[in-house]
Copies of this chain bind each other. A is one copy, B any other.
Amino acid sequence: MPNEFDLIDHIVATLGDVAAGAGVALGPGDDAAVLTLPPGCQLVVSTDTLVAGRHYPEGAAPDAIGYRALAVATSDLAAMGAAAAWAVVSLTAERLERAWTAGFAEGLKRAAARFGLAVVGGNLARGPQSVTVTVHGHLPHGAAITRAGAKTGDAVYVTGELGAAKLALGDVERLRELSFADLDDGEPPARYWRPTPRLAVGVGLRGVASAALDISDGLASDLDHLCQASGVRCEVEVSKLPVAAGCDPLMAASGGDDYELVFTAPPARAEAVRRLANDTDGPITAIGTVRPATNGCRRTAWFQDGKAVRPAPGYRHF
């Protein structure tokens, strides 16, 4: 088995260009990376761990794992309205071989190139397989979009379509066995392994959205977080949800792993939202309205054709 330092060299060589980039004064290979933020900007930081057999199928293709791990973490930058800049990646695995780690690095590289990120450092350790990615972005001072700004009367929007990842998870064997090269864009397995962080939408939402977050555990669960942080209720009409072909709307409402954005914006910004959908790779769909919290209830009320319904709860780690 190759030693740790040879493997790290091999990973860095595989990363090639994406180990450097804008603002990278010192990339992988020292005790730490040294990075230069654009003037007038704040730093935005988020970390995510994916555990084999829990957050993705054990034994899946290494490039698929690398791609997805970076995409999932980067989605949090999109949700804040940040531009993506740098990532550090910690890989833990029982048995690491050159071919496997090179495949993993290849997946990281494709994702990093796609999202405009540099991979500036990391860690290799022996242990049960998991990947922790910490992503760094930036935005103009004070421009961050939090979960806490939704106001009564705002519209509720989601990007893209919901439910494709949930559909893909219906056939875990296929997710495990697919080679990354064979993924068909737009098909559920590709949507699962290659989610698209909505970075351009996030940047466009600065000064437009009143609150935003990304949908990782499922819209039903995540929208409740927005309600709690903003001290509001949301009313959502299930029939308005943009849903992947073949997916039941209530299932799409509770299924996670799509990494679309849900956000709120005042009625006066509806035209700006429409323009943003045109300027990016939209769609953006209005699905409901922000209401005052009643009796301290800061949750989402779901309706289907005027009748109250209840999506299954979202993904819980415990």
Contacts and interface: CB of A to CB of B under 8 A. Distances in A.
A65 to B, nearest CB: 14
Q: Among the interface residues A29, A33, A86, A229, which one has the most CB atoms of the partner chain B within 10 A? A: A33
Interface residues of A, number: 71
A185 interface: no
Contact of A1 (B29, B79, B318): B318
Given A317-B124, A318-B1, A34 B30 contact: no
Contacts of A51: 92, 125-128
Given A37-B37, A318-B96, A46 B29 contact: no
A132 to B, nearest CB: 4
A126 B54 contact: yes
A141 interface: yes
B49 A33 contact: no
Most interface-central of A36, A132, A212 (chain B CB within 10 A): A132
Interface string A107-140: 0000000000000111111111010101111010
A54 B51 CA distance: 17
Given A30-B229, A80-B32, A125-B51, A86 B45 contact: yes
Nearest to A25: B42
A41 B213 CA distance: 30
A214 interface: yes
A246 interface: no
Contact of A126 (B46, B82, B122, B317): B317
B92 A49 contact: yes
A32 B46 contact: yes
A292 B213 CA distance: 55
Contact of A55 (B43, B90, B125): B125
Nearest to A89: B47
Contact of A46 (B33, B76, B213): B33
A316 B3 contact: yes
Given A26-B144, A127-B128, A31 B86 contact: no
Contacts of A36: 42-43, 141
Interface in A47-93: 47-55, 76-77, 79-80, 82, 86, 88-90, 92
Contacts of A17: none
A7 interface: yes
A152 interface: no
A44 B35 CA distance: 6
Interface string A9-45: 0000000000000000110011111111100001111
A306 interface: no
A147 interface: yes
Given A47-B89, A53-B127, 9 more contacts: A3-B316, A30-B148, A32-B77, A34-B139, A45-B121, A49-B125, A50-B125, A52-B127, A134-B134
